[in-house]
Amino acid sequence: MILLVLIITPFVAAMILAFIGDRKVAPVINIFSSFLTFLAGIALAVEVFRHGQFVAGGKFFFVDAFNVYLSVLTAFVSMTTAVFSRRYMQREKDHGKVGHTRMRFYHAMFQMFIFAMLLCLLTNNIGVLWIAMELATLSTVLLVSLYRTPNAIEAAWKYFILCGVGIAQALFGTVLLYFAAEKVIGEGGEALLWTNLIEVSGSLEPTVLSLAFVFLVVGYGTKVGLVPLHNWLPDAHSEGPTPISAVLSGLLLNIALYALVRCKVLVDGSTHTHYAGNIMMGFGIISILVASFSILRQKDIKRMFSYSSIEHMGIATFAFGLGGSIATFGALLHMLMHSITKSSIFFTVGHVCQMNQTQEISRIKGLFKGDPFTGWSLMLGAMAIAGMPPFGIFTSEFLILTATIKDVPLLTPLILIGLAVAFAGLLRKVQYMVSGDIPSYFKQLKTARTPVILHMALVLALAFYMPAFLYKWFQAAVELLK
């Protein structure tokens, strides 16, 4: 029941918003519906906390420790993003960057996107998971090109084509999965239900599954933004409107990783080797290195932070590939922390860009003096994302790194280099932007502080105190995944 509310609310909201178009109420409805979604998410969490994991809707939905926290996270971040985007998009409209039709489109598609992601998370059917993933892509493609600038269109085109190709690979993988499953479970819809697959995963044909995993990892990996499949990501993040960058970076990547990990579990269950893990570790390392070295030379603030998203996804992927209780725990925590932190950073970046009317790092200066709140939230956000305590990302990186040096000591130097370079790069740029004197073209604006404060407070709090239920879920998820 709650599940239904959770899934349906954004869908309905999308319909309504598409219908009423760009009125004063539109952003309010947007916020309200995502708030409703968030409440539903909370309720669902309570439900799961009470009775543990369950299957609903004729085995169509499935909620366990792993996806419940992700769906609450999704609901939460999309809510705050809606709050943020209200004033932000209003201002974009005032600047004449977007018209009425596009605003209508923006609001509708935003909700549609949330719907797709929640469907992704909560469905029990691998095929539907794929469909929802595709839907999520399609619903954001046109949001990326919202500004209709040549660059925006180029970015959106690349996003569309690359993710389309990737997703197609994923479908092929899914087909192979089904092919292997139907022999064991028998034909029909049953054979695609994750709950059934996990039970029989031991008896699935290893060769087929490892073949399938190649396609799945390439397919979903494209959306996770793993190097060398990442090229769409910086473009899409930097050219799209900031709220979209926030949800793409904070949520979509998580969802894709979620899908990938679900598949990994099946493959591991079948092959009983570390095959899938090794592939993921490889992708993770490459992503960390390439992303961190790219951060160093970015001239565009949003591009820089999108690269940092690639880096962190690399870390999480690596950790999942590494396996083991500590590393997996760290990875789960990392997904949580990263999406909260990164989205708050993007909020701040949005404010910064609007105040300086540019995304060029070299033209952004003196934020400490210009607008202390924004300056400090950018600085602290960067510190948090770069893995400085007392913020949560440090905790997860701590766990992951310590686990790494124990299990694969020879890879730690690479990760060390990656982290160090990324830290140096981020700090250099951010320090440049916050310090110094205010440029002439700087214009202080009223900013949406609540989301930023909420996120940063959350990251800080989770670093110092992790609630018991969250810990319980993580442990359960670890049991499932490790």
Separation CA 141–CA 439 (nearest Å): 35
Q: Which residues of 403-440 are buried (b: 16+ CB within 10 A; e: fewer)?
A: bbeeebeebeebbeebbebbbebbeebbeebbeeebee
By C-beta, is 342 or 429 nearer to other proteins? 429
Under the binding rule (CB under 8 A), the answer on residue 53 touching other proteins is: no
By C-beta, is 27 or 277 nearer to other proteins? 277
- Token look-up 């209200």 returns 86
Stretch in the footprint of other proteins (CB under 8 A) among 6-14, 253-261, 334-342, 404-412: 404-412
By C-beta, is 433 or 452 nearer to other proteins? 433
Stretch in the footprint of other proteins (CB under 8 A) among 70-78, 260-268, 308-316, 433-441: 433-441
Residues 279-338 that bind other proteins (CB under 8 A): 279, 289-290, 293-294, 296-298, 324-327
By C-beta, is 40 or 158 nearer to other proteins? 158
Q: Quick one: which of 272, 362, 464, 479 contacts other proteins (CB under 8 A)?
A: 464
Q: Quick one: which of 53, 195, 210, 358 contacts other proteins (CB under 8 A)?
A: 210
Under the binding rule (CB under 8 A), the answer on residue 130 touching other proteins is: yes
Q: Which amino acid is at 292?
A: S
CB 339 within 8 A of CB 251: yes
Under the binding rule (CB under 8 A), the answer on residue 420 touching other proteins is: yes
Q: Quick one: which of 20, 23, 29, 189 contacts other proteins (CB under 8 A)?
A: 189
Q: Quick one: which of 18, 49, 373, 407 contacts other proteins (CB under 8 A)?
A: 407
Residues 129, 135, 138, CA angle at the centre, nearest 5°? 145
Q: Quick one: which of 178, 358, 454, 480 contacts other proteins (CB under 8 A)?
A: 178
Q: How far is C-alpha 375 from the geometric centre of its chain's CA atoms?
A: 24
Distance of closest approach, residue 292 Cβ to other proteins, in angstroms: 9
Q: Quick one: which of 11, 32, 49, 398 contacts other proteins (CB under 8 A)?
A: 398
The strand pair at 54-56 and 61-63 is best described as antiparallel
61, β-bridge pairs:
56, 123
The residue count for binding other proteins (CB under 8 A) is: 111
Under the binding rule (CB under 8 A), the answer on residue 98 touching other proteins is: no
By C-beta, is 79 or 380 nearer to other proteins? 380
Report DSSP letters for 243-292, one per residue: HHHHHIIIIIHHHHHHHHHHHHHHHHHHH-SSHHHHHHHHHHHHHHHHHH
Report DSSP letters for 292-353, one per residue: HHHHTT--BHHHHHHHHHHHHHHHHHHHHHH-SHHHHHHHHHHHHHHHHHHHHHHHHHHHHH
Listed as own residue / partner, the contacts of 147-152 with beta carbons closer than 8 Å and 24 or more positions apart are 147/97, 147/98, 147/239, 147/241, 149/239, 151/235, 151/239, 152/239, 152/240
Q: Quick one: which of 135, 144, 146, 458 contacts other proteins (CB under 8 A)?
A: 135
Residues 226-255 that bind other proteins (CB under 8 A): 227-229, 231-232, 234-235, 238-239
By C-beta, is 298 or 354 nearer to other proteins? 298
Separation CA 167–CA 219 (nearest Å): 5
Q: Which two tokens stand for residue 65?
A: 């420790």
Q: Which amino acid is at 232?
A: W
Could you count the other beta carbons within 10 Å of the beta carbon of residue 15? 13
Q: Quick one: which of 71, 81, 111, 125 contacts other proteins (CB under 8 A)?
A: 125
- Tally the residues of the chain: 482
Residues 354-393 that bind other proteins (CB under 8 A): 368, 383, 386, 388-390
By C-beta, is 12 or 427 nearer to other proteins? 427
Distance of closest approach, residue 174 Cβ to other proteins, in angstroms: 8
Separation CA 312–CA 249 (nearest Å): 10
Q: Quick one: which of 17, 45, 65, 218 contacts other proteins (CB under 8 A)?
A: 218
Distance of closest approach, residue 223 Cβ to other proteins, in angstroms: 12
Distance of closest approach, residue 261 Cβ to other proteins, in angstroms: 18
Separation CA 240–CA 143 (nearest Å): 7
Distance of closest approach, residue 384 Cβ to other proteins, in angstroms: 11
Q: Quick one: which of 64, 134, 268, 311 contacts other proteins (CB under 8 A)?
A: 134
CB 224 within 8 A of CB 317: yes
Distance of closest approach, residue 26 Cβ to other proteins, in angstroms: 21
Q: Quick one: which of 48, 65, 77, 131 contacts other proteins (CB under 8 A)?
A: 131
By C-beta, is 247 or 279 nearer to other proteins? 279
